[in-house]
Structure 1
C-alpha cells in the first residue's frame, strides 16, 4: 500500500516539473448541487490532465539504462500525451500505444511532442502490444499498475488536503479508469484527512473497478463507453487493493450524464472539461443525496482534453443541445 511517505517524496521530486493546480470553492457548482463544492482543477495541469504527475514521477525515477532504452506507454489519450510531453522535456525517447478510438487531438499532441505513436484496434490489443514492446527492451511506464506512478498521482490528494483546509470537505469524488488516480488520492487523504470519504465514479461500459469489486479482484471487462480515457480493460491488483480498502463506493453513470456534466461544468463552473471529469457531477448528486445535510464535496476535475467538435458531437448524439 502506498503511504504518505511515498506521496510526499513524489511531490518533492516532481515539484519543479508540474503545476500546483488551484483548489477553489465553486459558487456555481454549489448552487447547482445544493451543497458546498470545492474543485481541484487538474485540467489546468501541464498536458491538460493529472497524468503529468505520475509520468514525471516515473521518468525521474529511472536508471540511466532505463532512460537509454526509451519508454513506452499504453493510453486512451491523457497518459500518452503526458508521457510524450514530459519525456521530451527530460530528453527521453518515448513510444505511445493508443487505440484508434482515442481522440484525434490526443494522437496529434503525442506525435507533436516527438513520441512514436503506435495504433491498435482497441484497448485490449493496445495493452498486448505494449507488453510485447516492454519484453523487447523498452521501459514500461504503466498508467496505473506502478507504485511510483500512483504516488505521483497521489500528490493531487496531498495538495487538496493542504489547500482545502481542515473541515472543508466531507466527501471527495474521483473518476476511475485503471484506478491510479483514486488509489493515490485515497492514500493521501487517509493520511492527511482521515475523516474524508472518497467515492469513485465510472461510466457504463468502462466498469473495470466496479467489476473487480463485485468479483473480489481484477477481472477483464467489456468496453463500450465513449469515455476512452476511462476505458481500462481491467484494473490492477495494486489499484484494486487501494480502492477496496480506502474508497467508500464506486458509482457508475451513463455516458449521456457524463456529457451533460461537461456542459454543466462549462456553464456553472466556467471550466472546459472532458467526459472523464463530466461524470463527476451526476456522481456528486448521488453522494450529496446519500450524505444529506452537512455534505461538503470535493471534485477532482481530472482533465480537459476534448475539443468543441467532440463535445458538440456527443451532446448532439444524446439530444442535449
Structure 2
C-alpha cells in the first residue's frame, strides 16, 4: 500500500515540474447541487490533466539506463499526452500507444510534443502492444499499475487535504484506478473522516466489476469516455480502492456529457466527460448521505475539444441544466 511518506516524497520530487492547481469553492456548483462544493482544478495542470504528476514522478525516478532506452506508455488520451510532454521536457525519448478511438486532439498533442505515437484498433490491443514494446527494451511508464505513478497522483489528494475547507465527501473519477488510489491514500492519512467515492461510466467499469468479483477482471469497453477506459484495473489499485474507498458509482455516458455542459455553465470550467461524470455521481452521493454533506470534486482533466463536446451533446440531445430550485 502507498503511504503518506511515499506521496510526500513524490510531491517534493515533482515540485517545480508541475502546477499546484487551485482548490476553490464553487458557488455555481453549490447552487446547482444544493450543497457546498469545493473543486480541485486539475484541468489547469500541465498537459491539461492530473496525469502530468504521475508521469513526472516516474520519469524523474528512472535510472540512467532506463532513460537512455526510452519510455513507452499506453493511453486513452491524457496519460499519453503527459508522458509525451514531460518526457520531452526531461530529454527522454517517448513512444505512446493509443487506440484509434482516442480523441484526435490527444493524438496530435502527443505527436506535437515529439513522441512516436502508435495507434491500435482498441484498448486491449494498445495494452498488448505496450507489453511487446516493453519486452523489446523500452522502459514502461504504466498509467496506473506502478507505486511511483500512484504516489505522484496522490499529490492531488495531499494538496486537496491542505487547501480544501472540510469536505465530508470527495468524488474521484476512476479509469485504471491510479488517481483514486493515490488520492484515497493521501486523504485517509490527512483527513481520515472523509468518505471517498469513485466514479466510472457505463462501458468503462473495470473497478466496480473488480469489486464485485473480488479482484481485477477483464471488462468489455464501450464508453465514449476513452480516458476512463482501462480493460482491467491492477491488483495494486484494486487493493487501495477496496480498502479505502466507500463505493464506486457508475453513471451513463449521457450523464457524463451533461456534466461537461453543467461544469461549463455553472463552474465556468471546460472539462471532459471523465470529469463531467462527477456531477451525476454527486447527486447520488447527496441522496445517500443526506443533509450536511460538503462535497469535494477532483476535476481531473479538460482535454476535450469543443467539436467533441458539441458532437456528444447533439447525439444525446443535451443542454445545460438550471440551478437547483431555479
TM-score, length of structure 1 as denominator length: 0.99
Q: Paired residue for 1:19?
A: 19
Alignment of 1:133-212 (within 5 A): 133-165=133-165, 168-212=166-210
Secondary structure, counterpart of 1:310 in structure 2: helix
Offset of residue 67 of structure 1: 0.1
Aligned to 1:216: 214
CA distance in 2, matches of 1:82, 1:38: 25
Deviation digits for residues 83-138 of structure 1 (CA, Å, limit 9, x no counterpart): 00000000000000000000000000000000000000000000000000000000
Report the 3-state secondary structure (helix = DSSP H, G, I; strand = E; otherwise coil) of the residue aligned with 2:241.
helix
Counterpart-to-counterpart distance in 1, 2:256 and 2:40: 18
CA distance in 2, matches of 1:68, 1:61: 13
Aligned partners of 2:93 and 2:269: how far apart in 1? 33
Residues 1-321 of structure 1: pairs in structure 2 closer than 5 A:
1-165=1-165, 168-321=166-319
Give CA-to-partner distance per residue, 1:33-54, whole Å, 9 cap, x none: 0000000000000000000000
Aligned counterparts of 1:256 and 1:69: Cα–Cα separation in 2 = 42
Output the aligned Cα RMSD. Answer: 0.4
- Secondary structure, in 3 states, of the residue corresponding to 1:234? coil
Distance 1:255 1:214 in 2: 21
For 1:290 and 1:35, locate their aligned partners in 2 and report how far apart those are by CA, in whole Å: 13
Deviations 1:272-307, CA, capped at 9 Å, x for gaps? 000000000000011011111110000000000001
Quote the Cα distance in structure 2 between the aligned partners of 1:52 and 1:320. 31
User: SS of the counterpart of 1:102?
Assistant: coil
SS of 2:170's partner is strand
Rounded to whole Å, the distance in 2 between the matches of 1:290 and 1:31 is 19
**How far does residue 246 in structure 1 lie from its aligned partner after superposition?**
0.2
| Rounded Cα–Cα distance in structure 2 between residues aligned with 1:58 and 1:127 | 19
- Secondary structure of 2:171's counterpart equals strand
Unaligned runs of 5+ in 1: none
Paired residue secondary structure (1:314): helix
Deviations 1:6-44 (A, max 9, x none): 000000000010000000000000000000000000000
- Aligned equivalents of 1:107, 1:270: Cα separation in 2: 26
Equivalent-residue separation in structure 1 for 2:6 and 2:116 (angstroms):
31
Unaligned 5+ segments in structure 2 are: 320-326
CA deviation string 1:245-275 (max 9, x = no partner): 0000000000000000000000000000000
Distance in 1, matches of 2:69 and 2:195, equals: 41
Tell me how far apart the structure 2 counterparts of residues 33 and 182 of structure 1 sit (CA, whole Å).
22
- The CA deviation string for residues 182-201 of structure 1, in whole angstroms up to 9 with x for no partner, is 00000000000000010000
Cα distance in 2 between the residues matched to 1:40 and 1:20: 10
The DSSP-based 3-state class of the residue aligned with 2:298 is strand
Residue aligned with 2:125, SS: helix
Separation in 1, partners of 2:120, 2:85: 21
C-alpha distance in 2 between matches for 1:297 and 1:126: 35
